[in-house]
Chain A
Amino acid sequence: MVHVASIVPISLTVGANRIVPAVAIPHPLGNPELPEDEERKLRLNLVKKALRALQVEVEIQTVFEE
């Protein structure tokens, strides 16, 4: 399981093991200020990042910043 969430400290506090930081609370996987195609690209990249996190073995709670 990977947790995609904006407020990483909460994710850490409640015990997620793989964390991917998201954009903002009301739109974790989007940014309404971007043109539509760029927003889709942003979302696709975040989801890819989440999938990469699923492929990494973790021992301790890990935030996937990059």
Chain B
Amino acid sequence: MRLELGIIKIKDVQFGDETIIEDSTLYVNKKELIALARQDDRLSEADVELARPGEEVRIIPVKDVIEPRVKVSGSGELFPGLVGKMGTVGSGRTNVLRGAAVATVGRIIGPQEGFIDMTGPGAQYSPFSQINNVVLVLHPIDGLDPHAYEEAMRLTGLRAAVYLGKACKDIAPDELEVYELSPVTDTTLPRVVYLSTLLSEGLLHDTWFYGVDAKKLLPTLLHPNEVMDGAIVSGNCVSACDKHTTYHHLNDSVIKELYRRHGKDLNFVGVIVTNLNVTLLDKERSTDYASKLVKLIGADGAIIAEEGFGNPDTDLMMLCKKMEEYGIKTVLITDEYAGQDGASQSLADAVPQADAVISVGNANEVVTLPPMKHIIGDLKSAEVISGGFVGSVTASGGLSVEIQTIMGSTCQLGFGKLTARGY
């Protein structure tokens, strides 16, 4: 399976009469994009705004972020089983608008979205502060059930990413990235598998895998290219800091790093996706099954990335313990909830086998952020999102919040450079 990503660099985004790319600028036809959003009759109103790096803009509350792409050749369509036809993705050529994203905004359930600052001290925490965002503000029709609203937003966001992606179908890419798991001749290299855990805790805490609700999965093996080509879609409304947006899945940092070292330091043998469910029975079954798969494919080591926090800490620990008992060496990636003062235990569960842990930061840390000139969405929602509190919106319109509220701040795919250290 060989995947070529044709990278088209986007340095600016503007409204225009036509949705096209010229000189690294993405021009967006606002009317067409709004019309596309209005195709879903569960949405009453839609607006499009643009937010560029460095601008005094705060986007809140954000549900998902998606990188615009288009399939140029090869089997399958983007986001198969949801907005694309069913078919295996991960081979051929996919063009990517690198430096641009679609961000969906709307208050689905209150606590469970986050925000993005395009400048100021909040910007260093989010990868989406560094890219050009096409923001879709989507309102539900009266009385729409939150789950239906989530689905409408999720699908509309994906359609918008596909719509923007089409503009780059015939453009010569600035760079070509090639991903192929070429056979490794050096048999002494350790066989390494990547275990991606997908939140699947209910209708607003779900992840979609080839259109399947991840809670219904048994852990399964796939080629890393499938993840990089749209097989996994976020349907999550969990804390903003450590949910994996669709953008994160498309650009999974663990996959990229394992690819970079494939054939040199290790033999990257594949990806296993498993779920994070709400009953102990399901947790036992899925962690048993995932560990057994890792053993069956003869892996020596595994990187296990958590999504979310709290009860998923148990899944993480079960996976670690079960694999280590099979003799498979594990490294876990997690964030911490050590309290605002950093003095509490950071995880809800622990096993002694978890002796190799990467910390991507304490999500409870409080930051004070200045007001922004322009708000896309609704600033007041900062007081109800997870990690916000009464008084989070300061008199001047700034924010005092835990970094839990910032999109991707403690991404457990190891996307960023934040960590927490013991003092």
From the candidates B278, B313, B314, B348, name the one contacting A24 in the complex (CB within 8 A): B278
Bound-state CA distance A8–B15 (Å) is: 53
**Is B201 part of the contact surface with A, judged by Cβ < 8 Å?**
yes
Task: For the complex formed, measure the closest distance between the CB of B352 and the CB atoms of chain A, giving whole angstroms.
Answer: 12
Q: Could you tell me which residues of chain A, from 1 to 49, have a CB within 8 Å of some CB in chain B?
A: 6-10, 13-14, 21, 23-26
In chain B, positions 317-373 with a C-beta closer than 8 Å to chain A are 317-318, 348-350
Q: How many residues of B contact A (CB 8 A)?
A: 14
B residues less than 8 Å from A13 (CB atoms):
348-350
State A13–B202 Cα separation when bound (angstroms). Answer: 25
Are B201 and A7 in contact, CB atoms less than 8 angstroms apart?
no
- Cβ of B81 to closest chain A Cβ, rounded Å: 25
The residue of chain A having its C-beta at the shortest distance from the C-beta of B311 within the complex is A7
Whether A25 and B311, one on each chain, are in contact in the complex, defined by CB atoms closer than 8 angstroms, is yes
Q: How many residues of A contact B (CB 8 A)?
A: 12
Contact of B280 among A6, A14, A26 (CB under 8 A): A6
Contacts of A7 in B (CB 8 A): 280, 283, 311, 314, 349
- Shortest CB distance B309–A (Å): 12
B201 proximity list for chain A (CB < 8 A): 25-26
Name the one of A6, A9, A21, A26 contacting B318, with C-beta atoms under 8 angstroms.
A9
| A6, B310: Cα distance in complex, Å | 13
B396 adjacent to chain A (CB < 8 Å): no
| Shortest Cβ distance from B318 into A: residue | A9
Bound CA span A36–B278, Å = 21
Which residues 183-222 in B have Cβ within 8 Å of A in the complex?
201-202
Interface string of B84-102 (1 = CB under 8 A from A): 0000000000000000000
Q: A25-B201, A26-B201, A26-B202 are in contact. Are A6 and B348 (CB under 8 A)?
A: no
User: Considering the chains assembled together, what is the distance between the CA atoms of A61 and B298 in angstroms?
Assistant: 37
CA distance A21 to B280 in the complex (A): 9
Q: B39 interface residue, CB < 8 Å from A?
A: no
Question: Nearest chain-A residue to B284 (Cβ)?
Answer: A9
**What separation, in Å, do the CA atoms of A29 and B188 have in the docked complex?**
52
Q: Which residues of B contact A25 (CB under 8 A)?
A: 201, 278-279, 311
A14-B348, A25-B201, A26-B202 as given contacts; A9 in contact with B279, CB under 8 Å: no
From A8, A21, A26, contact of B278 by CB (8 A):
A26
Residue of B nearest to A27 (CB): B278
CB within 8 A of A6: which of B202, B279, B317, B349?
B279
- Interchain CA distance A7-B348 in the complex, whole Å: 11
Those of B252-289 within 8 Å (CB) of chain A:
278-280, 283
Q: Is the CB of A9 within 8 A of B202?
A: no
Contacts of A9 in B (CB 8 A): 280, 314, 317-318, 349
A25–B199 Cα distance when bound, in Å, is 13
Nearest CB in chain A: distance from B386 CB, A? 16
Please give, as numbers and ranges, the residues of chain B lying within 8 Å of A24 by CB-CB distance.
278-279
Specify the chain B residue showing the minimal Cβ separation from A26.
B202
Q: Cβ of B202: which chain A residues have Cβ within 8 Å of it?
A: 26
Check B279 against A10 for contact (C-beta < 8 Å).
Answer: no
Residues of chain A within 8 A (CB-CB) of B311 are 6-7, 10, 25
A10:B278 contact, CB within 8 angstroms: no
Q: How far is the CB of A16 from chain B (nearest CB, A)?
A: 13
CB distance from B8 to the nearest CB of A (A): 42
Max chain A C-beta neighbours (<10 A), residue from B201, B279, B318: B279
Bound-complex Cα distance A66 to B317 (A): 25
Give, as a whole number of angstroms, the nearest-CB distance from A37 to chain B. 22
- How far does the alpha carbon of A26 sit from the alpha carbon of B348 in the complex, in Å? 17
The answer for the CA separation of A10 and B349 in the assembled complex, in Å, is: 5
Query: Which residues of B sit under 8 angstroms from A14, Cβ to Cβ?
Result: 348
CB distance from B198 to the nearest CB of A (A): 16
Which A-chain residue is minimally distant from B283 (CB atoms)?
A: A7
Q: Which residue of A lies closest to B317 (CB)?
A: A9
Closest to A8 in B: B280
- Listed A/B pairs (5) with beta-carbon separation below 8 Å: A6-B279, A9-B280, A21-B280, A25-B278, A25-B311
Q: Which 7 A-B pairs have the closest CB atoms?
A: A25-B278, A24-B278, A24-B279, A13-B349, A9-B314, A7-B311, A10-B348
Interface residues of B (CB under 8 A from A): 201-202, 278-280, 283, 311, 313-314, 317-318, 348-350
Known A-B contacts: A6-B278, A25-B278. Give 6 more (CB < 8 A).
A9-B349, A10-B348, A14-B348, A21-B280, A24-B279, A26-B202
